[in-house]
Amino acid sequence: MPKLTFIGAGSSVFAKNVLGDAMMTPALQDFELALYDINPERLQDSENMLNNLKATSGSTCRIVSYSDRREALRGAKYIVNAIQVGGYDPCTITDFEIPKKFGLRQTIADTLGIGGIFRNLRTIPVMLDFARDIQDVCPDALFMNYTNPMAVLTNVMNTDGGVNTVGLCHSVQACIPHLFRALDIDQEGVQAKIAGINHMAWLLEVTRDGVDLYPEIKRLAAEKQKEKHNDMVRFELMLRFGYYVTESSEHNAEYHPYFIKRNYPELIERFNIPLDEYPRRCVNQIERWKTMREELVNDKNLVHNRSNEYASRIMEAIETNNPFRIGGNVMNTGLITNLPKEACVEVTCLVDRNGVTPTYVGDLPPQLAALNRTNINTQLLTIEAARTLKKDHIYHAALLDPHTSAELSIDDTIALCDAMIEAHGDWLPKFQ
């Protein structure tokens, strides 16, 4: 029986989307859905939920929970990864509260910046443990990574882990719908080309019937900037650098040195930047789960409509050889020619029986490549820190981070890194 393994299956809402999609897909009906999570209670919740969904959908997928990760992976053809190492408490709290003591404020802190660096450093060792198991018990599996920080973790799994990995993010899928709804433009018949790096990929072309829509988009965006709205950072970047970026304004506010600045507090108000946004979301999700759990886990009449998540579409395309196009995170094997070959990039990929095949982009506009490289610098140095266990490379990654370096001195940046290492304690490996 072919096997799809879900690591982090205690994320019940996301498991419902991804595995519910698999249960709705005819080509995947003979699969075992193998569930693994380090939290046995949440794992049991997801198993109950999926069994209810199996009963209402008539799916013939087999649902099996595992307490042993290696056995959950054994023989898997596909793996979905959706873990969060350290969770909200203590690690997300640490990622926000320690930098605040140094005057460094963040919005999301799961991709770049001090929060992103340390989220990587505590997650990479866990991911490489997965990779060692995969090499032993399912070396040919396709690893579909949904865990942030996407670019670094996907890079590490491909390079250091030796695992066939594609990173999957919602930002490419959401880019056009979000932009066009915000500007009240009809999306029907729109063609787009997107490429860059995760959370900073660019809408390079946007047309309808061969007509460039960017002039009208920018005209409407300039008008909209005259009033307060929730996408002001991205609109500002588009008007200054020429292109719309895929990930949200709250994310991009901390990927650049222009928006969150102690000496210019008026920028927070001007660009409507939600500081401490991710901790708020975490608290809300924890509270919401208390009421949602009963509805989701114990509903004998639970139903599911196939979502827009890429995972089931990828597996279906491989199983049936009916091609499907995705925005995927892959290694830069000459795909974007003015970004480093060591980087993980986000480009259009074609999926069929041959697997995930990325498409060639060529050069990005020079200003966009330059912005991407500021983030890639920190990503690659974070990987070097994880490989060598040298504190110096943690310092280098932080010193080259756009937001951190715009706010803190060298001495304060190093002191902050040391404070973060101490606060994380055993969540990190030992650095020298």
Cα separation, 243 vs 141, in Å, equals 36
Please name the amino acid found at residue 124: I
Strand partners, 202: 195, 245
Q: Which residues contact 388 (CB under 8 A, 6 or more apart)?
A: none
Q: Is 170 a catalytic residue?
A: yes
Q: How many other CB atoms are there within 10 angstroms of residue 260's CB atom?
A: 24
Is the CB of residue 380 less than 8 Å from the CB of residue 160?
A: no
Q: What DSSP string runs through 72-128? A: HHTT-SEEEE---TTIIIIIIHHHHHHHHHTT---S--SSSHHHHHHHHHHHHHHHH
Active-site residue, selected from the candidate residues 170, 178, 256, 396 = 170
- Give the single-character DSSP code of 301: T
Is the CB of residue 376 less than 8 Å from the CB of residue 348?
A: no
Is the CB of residue 110 less than 8 Å from the CB of residue 150?
A: no
Cα separation, 267 vs 29, in Å, equals 52
- The two tokens of residue 104 are 């460094």
Is the CB of residue 347 less than 8 Å from the CB of residue 361?
A: yes
Strand partners, 33: 4, 63
**Chain centre distance of CA 417:** 23
Give the CA distances from residue 51 to residues 40, 194, 300, in Å, rounded to whole numbers and listed in that order.
16, 38, 9
Catalytic residue annotation? 170
